[in-house]
Structure 1
């Protein structure tokens, strides 16, 4: 069911991925959705409330993704599924919503900062689990801890998404995914 609440969150997601959390206003949402700012304020009295709901929704999405990973046959397939999450962002020249939120972290209220950090930590935990599975299966190798390797992969992927926004670097995202898989393989 597509309610006003979910429509606002979906559009906020697109705007965050395009412009960052502080790169859009309720007026922008109002214009895009064809609703009044009062309607947005009814669901999210302050922008921080919208940010909190966004982070909670993303956490739920990541937990669902984490559960779906259990159906994958191998860590390689799990990592490919992780990369696939960002394919649409790459095609549309967008940033990762989690990292877009982190770029505005110092401008946020403390409760929202904590939610953004929790969200980023959950992503790193999922990625670390994939990497540990790959080591256990003897399909991945790396010289640092799984947590450190997860940070390296996250930074590479999110950096590639940022560079991919330029016409000059289109295709860089997929090249980065391929290179990461190659460097992890035994």
Structure 2
């Protein structure tokens, strides 16, 4: 994907914004054509079908997430958890950065094409593995206090963060996100008693 053209990048960026605004079925190639200023045939040249487009978008999104996770690796587990929640707090707070496209697509899994579902699930598996590893490392170091297994804590963390995003969006109040995620971080980083 490193050799994708800038037109491909524009198409992907537009598709991402349209998915965030209206979901998988909330846009068409005609919408992208209008926004990007190219013909639908040009979009089909880069992405023969909508499935190809969204599958590529989610795969690239996962690659970006992997790179971000790699950059956090030098930090302590608790700091990585904070950085992850703070990233989404900033996105939700300023409204100009993108909402988690995979969280939105996950809510549409029953109606998504199977190839897109595979990519969305791969994204969540990536985060589950990363967070499970963080939970294990933090518990071993004594910097994180787990209530259950590392895996169950990782899944709880994912569900809480993504649920907080959706709640903030549903209420139209960015502060809801922090009100939900702050206690989660506080619980995980509380000293053992």
TM-score using structure 2 length? 0.86
Out of 11, 14, 18, the position equivalent to 2:17 is 14
Comparing 12-21 and 56-65, the one that deviates more: 12-21
Q: Are 2:125 and 1:121 aligned?
A: yes
Q: Are 2:188 and 1:180 aligned?
A: no
Name the counterpart of 1:45: 48
* Contact 1:95/1:158, CA 8 A, preserved across alignment: no
Out of 66, 71, 88, the position equivalent to 1:68 is 71
- What stretches of structure 1 of length at least 5 have no aligned partner? none
Out of 169, 173, 179, the position equivalent to 1:165 is 169
* Contact 1:20/1:103, CA 8 A, preserved across alignment: no
Name the counterpart of 2:141: 137
Counterparts of 1:77 and 1:124 in 2: how far apart (Å)?
17
Counterparts of 2:168 and 2:56 in 1: how far apart (Å)?
28
> Measured at CA, do residues 97 and 124 of structure 1 come closer, stay the same or move farther in structure 2, by a change above 3 Å?
same
How big is the shift at 1:87?
A: 2.9
Name the counterpart of 1:98: 102
Counterparts of 1:44 and 1:153 in 2: how far apart (Å)?
34
> Measured at CA, do residues 2 and 167 of structure 1 come closer, stay the same or move farther in structure 2, by a change above 3 Å?
farther
TM-score using structure 1 length? 0.89
Comparing 7-16 and 49-58, the one that deviates more: 7-16
Counterparts of 2:142 and 2:19 in 1: how far apart (Å)?
38
Out of 139, 150, 160, the position equivalent to 1:146 is 150
Deviations 1:82-112 (A, max 9, x none): 1133234412296421111112222222222
* Contact 2:89/2:174, CA 8 A, preserved across alignment: no
Say what the alpha-carbon RMSD is for the aligned residues.
2.1
- What stretches of structure 2 of length at least 5 have no aligned partner? none
Name the count of aligned residue pairs.
Answer: 185
How big is the shift at 1:176?
A: 2.0
How big is the shift at 1:42?
A: 1.1
